[in-house]
Structure 1
Amino acid sequence: MTSEPRTEAGDRVRFPRAGMRRNQARIYEITEAGPGGITAEADGCRYQLSQGDIAAIGIMHADEK
């Protein structure tokens, strides 16, 4: 079983299993993080993602390869 990386407000992340390639490549900044999920912003839009959402689309720090 793999675990998702630890994230906190201010981290820049990507979602490698997002449904669209452009969303996989986009860099999001986490503005809030808590036990229930995160709020992230990209290109002027805000996204609220639950832990289930994150498990489905994956998450990695933007500087990871």
Structure 2
Amino acid sequence: MTSIEPVFEIGGQRYAAGDRVRFPRAGMRRNQARIYEITEAGPGGITAEVDGCRYQLSRGDIAAIGITHADQK
């Protein structure tokens, strides 16, 4: 039996635990610049951490604030 890695997919991009991401439309400019690490991912959303804080973001949250891999502009 093959194990499938849990991923979150949106806009043709896939995100999984361990990925480093940014949220380009976050409400505060400093949050747009931060690099978050995804700790959990699934079809409905992700959990991301930065500076010791954990955020659970739903598909709707991510649609509103955007998401990109940290190495993308």
Normalised TM-score (structure 2): 0.81
After TM superposition, what 4+ stretches of structure 1 lie above 3 angstroms from structure 2? none
- Structure 1's 37 and 55: CA in aligned 2 closer, same or farther, altered over 3 A? same
Q: Are 1:31 and 2:34 counterparts?
A: no
What RMSD, in angstroms, separates the aligned Cα atoms of the two structures?
6.1
Normalised TM-score (structure 1): 0.91
User: SS at the partner of 1:48?
Assistant: strand
Larger relative contact order, structure 1 or 2 (CA cutoff 8 Å, min sep 6): 1
Larger radius of gyration: 2
Deviation at 1:2, TM superposition (A): 31
- Structure 1's 39 and 14: CA in aligned 2 closer, same or farther, altered over 3 A? same
What is the number of residues matched between the two proteins?
63
Per-residue deviation, residues 33-58 of structure 1 (Å, max 9, x unmatched):
00110000000000000000000000
